[in-house]
Amino acid sequence: MYGYTSVLIMGEAKRRKNLGIPPREKNKDINLPELDKKAIQQKVRSTIYKYPIIPFLFYVAVIVVLIGVLFYVFKSLNLA
């Protein structure tokens, strides 16, 4: 019984060694995408200049969420 459970728990490296298979090759070229901060800043700025109401909508949304959270807290604690 204990021999069978060790087969179930055995890792891939040990299993490959027991089967006589060579170790798995590791992939060393991980190409992460390059971020161009200047281009991203330019896109954000051009969008904000194109639609200047976006920051105000964002601030209003944040204030509404904060008021909702305060209302929920006061209601749940029965402070009102």
pLDDT higher than 90, residue 30: no
Sign of CA dihedral 59, 64, 65, 69: positive
Cα–Cα dist 56/29, whole Å: 44
pLDDT higher than 50, residue 1: no
pLDDT digits (tens, 9 = 90+) for 31-77: 888 889 999 999 999 999 999 999 999 999 999 999 999 999 988 88
pLDDT higher than 60, residue 2: no
| Cβ-based burial of 47 (10 A; exposed 0-12, middle 13-18, buried ≥19) | exposed
Query: Contact at 8 Å (CB) between 23 and 13?
Result: yes
Cα–Cα dist 27/41, whole Å: 34
- Residue 3 identity (one-letter amino acid): G
How high is the pLDDT of residue 38? Answer: 95
pLDDT digits (tens, 9 = 90+) for 7-26: 566 788 888 888 888 888 87
Kindly list the domain boundaries of the chain, sorted by start residue.
33-80
